[in-house]
Chain A
Amino acid sequence: MTEKKGLGALIRQNSVSLMFVVICIICIPISGLSPSYLINEIVTRMGRNAFLILSLLIPIMAGMGLNFGMTLGAMAGEIGLILVSDWQIVGIPGMVLAMIISVPISVLFGLFCGKILNMAKGREMITSYIISYFMNGAYQLVVLYLMGSIIPIKHSSIKLPRGYGVRNTVSLLSMRQKLDNLVAIRFWGIKIPVVTFIIIFLMCLVIVWFRKTKLGQDMRAVGQDMAVARDSGINVERTRIISIVISTVLAGIGMIIYLQNMGNIATYSSHSQIGMFCIAALLVGGASVEKASIGNVFLGIALFHTMFIVAPKAGAVITGDSMIGEYFRVFVSYAVITIALIMYETNKRRAKSAVGAELEKAQLEEESR
C-alpha cells in the first residue's frame, strides 16, 4: 500500500519532467536532427544557461518562490557589458570588468527588490514579476535616454544616430565565446567549453557549501516558517533581502556568461524573456516552487532545451508551417510554469487541510477521554 502510494506520488511530483521526456521522445525522430548536432546544441546551451538558472536556487531556499526579479540582475549584466564594449576592453578582461561593474548595480537592484518583497509577504512571486516590468521601464529610461546624454557613450557603433541612447543590438564580437573557447575540447563534432563548465561546477560547489553555512541554515529556517525563525532570533527581513541580493548578483554574472556565448546583446529584449525561460527550465527539471536542487537545473536544461530545439522542426514537419512549432514552444514554456504554480498551490492547501484534519482528530480524542 505505502509503496504504491509512493510510486503514485513520485509520478505526480515529476509529472512535468515525464511529460517532457515523452514530448522529446516523440519529437526527436520527427525533427530529423542528427544526434551529434543535438548533443552539441545541448552542451552549448548547458554552458550558456546553467549559471543563470543556478541563481534561482537561493530565493527558493529562503521560501520566496521563483525569483522573477532575476531579470533585474540580467539588466545589470547588460549595463556592464554595454559600458565595457564602449570602453573597447576586449576578451576575458572585458568580461571580468563587466562583471565587476554589474555587481554593485545588481546589489542595488537586489536591495530594492528585497525591500519591496518584504512589504508584500505572501505574494512574492506576482510582486517580483511586476518589479521586473517596472524596472524594465527604468532600464529603458537609462539606456535609451540617459546613456550618451549623461552617461558618456563614445562609439557610434553603440550609440543611436540621434546622439543619445543605445542601439537595438550591441555587438560583442570582441568577447564572443572568449570564455567558451579559452579551453575547448572537441570530439565527434561536439565542442565542450571547459572553462565555462568549471565555473559552473565551482558555482555548484559554492551553493552546496552555502547551504551548510549559518546564513544558509537561517535561510532554510525562514523558508520553512517565518514566525518560528523570528522566534529563534533570526532577522527574517534581513535574511530575505540577502537571498534576493545574492540571486540578483548571480543572475548578473550569469547574464554576462550567457551573452558572451550569444555574441550580441539585444539591448531592449535580451533580459525580458530570460526570466521566463530560466524558470520554465528549472521547473521542467523537477523543481517546485518550494524545493529545487542542482540536479533539477541540469536535467531541466537538457529536457527543456531539447524541446526548444526540436519543437519548431517537428512542428514544421507535421503541419508544414514553421510558426506553429515556434508558438508551441512558447506555449509549453508558459504551460509548464502554470502547471507548476497550480501544483504548488494545491499542495499547500492539501498540507494545510492535513494539519487541520490532524488537529480535529486530536480534539476528538481529547473529547472522548
Chain B
Amino acid sequence: MEENVKKEKGKFRQMLDDFGLPRLIITGFLILLLVVAPFVGADLPTQISNIISRFSWNGVLVLAMVPMVHSGCGLNFGLPLGIISGLLGATLSIELGFTGGFSFFMAAVLATPFALVFGTVYGWLLNKIKGGEMMIATYVGFSSVSLMCMMWLILPYHSPNMVWGMAGKGLRTTISLEGYYTQALAKILQIRIGKLVIPTGALLFFALLAFLMWAFLHTKTGTAMTAVGSNPTFARAAGINVDKIRLLSVVMSTWLAAIGILVYEQGFGFVQLYMAPFYMALPAVSAILIGGASVNKASITNVIIGTILFQGIVTMTPTVMNNMIHTDMSEVIRIIASNGMILYALTRRTEGAKK
C-alpha cells in the first residue's frame, strides 16, 4: 500500500520529501550567501578558503557520528567524552616535551588509551539503557566535562606553556599550540593560488579516515553493525552479538572524537579546556543531519556535504550580514538553524523508534 502512495506522489514531491524541507532551505540560504557575497564587498576567494579550512578542522568530529548512528545508538550527544580523551592526549604530549609536528602524532597516540577506556565504559553504560541513549549521552558528556573542569585544576601539570603563570599550577583555559602542532597537517602539501589556500594535508587526513570508515562499514563487522542498527532482533537471530557490536561502535566514535579534536586544534592553533568541549556535540550533530543523515541512517557523503553546508553558513553569515546590514546576526541564525535541524530530525518517524 505504501508503494502505491509513493507512486501517486509526484516525482518532484518525493524528491523534496527525501531531501527534506529544512535541508533545502539551508542549501538555498548558503547558495544565496555565495551569490550575494561579491556584491556586498566580501572577498570570495578568502571566504572559500575559510570554508575549506573550517571543513578540514571539523570533518573528523562529524565523522565520529557515523558508527553510533549505524549501530542504532542514535546521535552521539556524548561527543565531549571523546573530546576530553583528545584533550588529555594533547596536554600530555605537550607536558612530556614533544614539539613540532611530532607532538601531534604523540598526542594522538597518548589520547588513544583514554579514548578506548572511556569509550568502553560509555558503551557499556549505553548497552544498559537501550532506547534512552541520546538523553543520557548528553548528560554523560556534560558530567564528564564538568568533572574534567576540576581535574584540569588539580592534575599535576607543570609545563610553563600550559599552567597559569602566577600560581604555577592549574591549566590555562586556552593553550597556544605555537611551536607544537599548529597547522601540522594543514601545512603538508599546502596549495596557494592567490588568496585561495588549500590545507591539503588536513583534507587528505580526513579523506584517509573517511575512507577507512567506508571500508570498515563494508567489512563483515561493519555490515553486522548496520544490521544491529536497522533491526536488533533480526541481528540477534542471525547470531550477531548485539551488545558487543554496539560497544565497538561507541569506542570507535569516542576515538574518532579524540582524533577529531586534535585535528580541530591543529587548524585552530589553540587547545581549549574547561567548558569549551561542552557545546561541541551540537554543531557536529547538526552538521551530519544537514548533510542528509537521520537518527538511524548516516553515510560518509552525509558527513562531507553536511560539514561543507554547516561550516559554509557559519563562515559566510557573519561577513555577508556585516557588510549588508552592519549587524552581526550570525550567532542567532546559527543557533536557530542548527538546533532547528536537530529538532526536525528528532520529529521524523524512524523505523527504530516505532517498533
Residues of A within 8 A of B (CB): 116, 119-120, 122-123, 125-127, 129-131, 133-134, 136-138, 140-141, 144-145, 319, 321, 323-324, 327-328, 330-331, 334-335, 337-338, 341-342, 344-346, 348-349
In the complex, what's the smallest C-beta–C-beta distance from A170 to chain B, in angstroms?
19
Q: Given contacts A133-B282, A137-B336, are A331 and B150 in contact (CB under 8 A)?
A: yes
B338 → A minimal CB distance (Å):
9
In the complex, A138→B149 CA distance in Å?
A: 30
- Closest chain B residue to A338, Cβ basis: B139
B208: CB under 8 A from chain A?
no
Q: Judge if B129 is at the interface, Cβ distance under 8 Å.
A: yes
Contact of B339 among A134, A141, A331 (CB under 8 A): A134
Taken together as a complex, chains A and B put the C-alpha atoms of A345 and B125 apart, in Å, by 11
**Contacting pair A141 B143 (CB below 8 A):** no
For B282, the chain A residues whose CB sits under 8 A away are: 133
B77 touches A119 (CB 8 A): no
Interface members, chain B 30-88 (any A CB < 8 Å)? 77
| B128 and A133 form a contact (CB under 8 A) | no
* A341-B143 in contact (CB<8A): no
Q: Which of B125, B138, B329 gathers the greatest number of chain A CB atoms within 10 Å?
A: B138
Residue numbers in A under 8 Å from B334 (CB-CB)? 137
Assembly CA distance A144 to B335 (angstroms): 14
A127: nearest residue on chain B (CB-CB)? Answer: B346
Are A123 and B150 in contact, CB atoms less than 8 angstroms apart? no
Nearest chain A residue, comparing its CB with the CB of B142: A334
Q: Besides A126-B135, A330-B149, A334-B139, 4 other CB < 8 A contacts?
A: A141-B332, A331-B146, A338-B136, A349-B131
> In whole angstroms, what is the CA distance A327 to B125 when docked?
24
A123 closest partner in B (C-beta)? B346
Q: How far is the CA of A324 from the CA of B136 in the complex (A)?
A: 25
**B347, A116: Cβ atoms closer than 8 Å:** yes
List residues of chain B with CB within 8 A of the CB of A140. 331-332, 335
**Secondary structure of the A contact surface, majority rule:** helix
Contact B146 A127 (CB under 8 A): no
Which residues 120-168 of B have a CB within 8 angstroms of A? 125, 128-132, 134-136, 138-140, 142-143, 146-147, 149-150, 153-154
Q: Provide the bound-state CA to CA distance between A346 and B130, in Å.
A: 9
Q: Are A342 and B128 interface neighbours, CB within 8 A?
A: yes
Also in contact, A134 and B347, with CB within 8 A (given A321-B170, A331-B149, A338-B143): no
Contact yes or no, A345 B153, CB < 8 A: no
Asked whether B343 lies within 8 Å of A134 as measured between CB atoms, the reply is yes
Write the chain A residue with the least CB distance to B146: A331
CB distance from B339 to the nearest CB of A (A): 4
A residues within 8 A CB of B143? Answer: 331, 334-335, 338
Chain B residues close to A by CB (< 8 Å)? 77, 125, 128-132, 134-136, 138-140, 142-143, 146-147, 149-150, 153-154, 170, 282, 327, 329, 331-336, 339-340, 342-343, 346-347, 353
- How far does the alpha carbon of A308 sit from the alpha carbon of B136 in the complex, in Å? 23
**Whole-angstrom distance between the alpha carbons of A194 and B131 in the complex?**
45
Q: A120-B346, A122-B353, A123-B134 are in contact. Are A145 and B146 (CB under 8 A)?
A: no
Task: Output the least CB separation between A344 and chain B (Å).
Answer: 7
Contact yes or no, B129 A349, CB < 8 A: yes
Are the C-beta atoms of A345 and B128 separated by less than 8 Å? yes
| In the complex with contacts A136-B335, A321-B170, A119-B153 CB distance below 8 A | no
Candidates A116, A144, A330, A341; contact of B146 at CB < 8 Å: A330
Taking CB as reference atom, which chain B residue is nearest A144?
B332
Query: How far apart are A147's CB and chain B's nearest CB, in angstroms?
Result: 13
Q: Known contacts A134-B340, A344-B132, A349-B130; is A126 also within 8 Å of B138 by CB?
A: yes
Report which of B138, B149, B340, B343 forms a contact with A327, defined as CB distance below 8 A. Answer: B149
Contact A123 B154 (CB under 8 A): no
- How far in angstroms is the closest Cβ of chain A from B151? 9
Beta-carbon contact of B135 and A129 below 8 Å:
yes
Contact B132 A134 (CB under 8 A): no
Q: Indicate which residue in B135, B142, B153, B335 contacts A134 across the interface (CB closer than 8 Å).
A: B335
- A292 CB, min distance to chain B CBs, angstroms: 17
Assembly CA distance A324 to B119 (angstroms): 26
Q: When chains A and B are docked, how far (Å) is the Cα of A133 from the Cα of B283?
A: 12
Contacts of A335 in B (CB 8 A): 143, 146-147
Contact between A345 and B129, CB atoms less than 8 A apart: yes
Q: B158 CB to closest chain A CB, in angstroms?
A: 17
Knowing A134-B336, A346-B128, say if A324 contacts B150 (CB, 8 Å).
yes
Name the one of B130, B136, B335, B342 contacting A342, with C-beta atoms under 8 angstroms.
B136
A323 touching B353 in the complex, CB below 8 Å, given contacts A140-B335, A141-B336, A342-B128? no
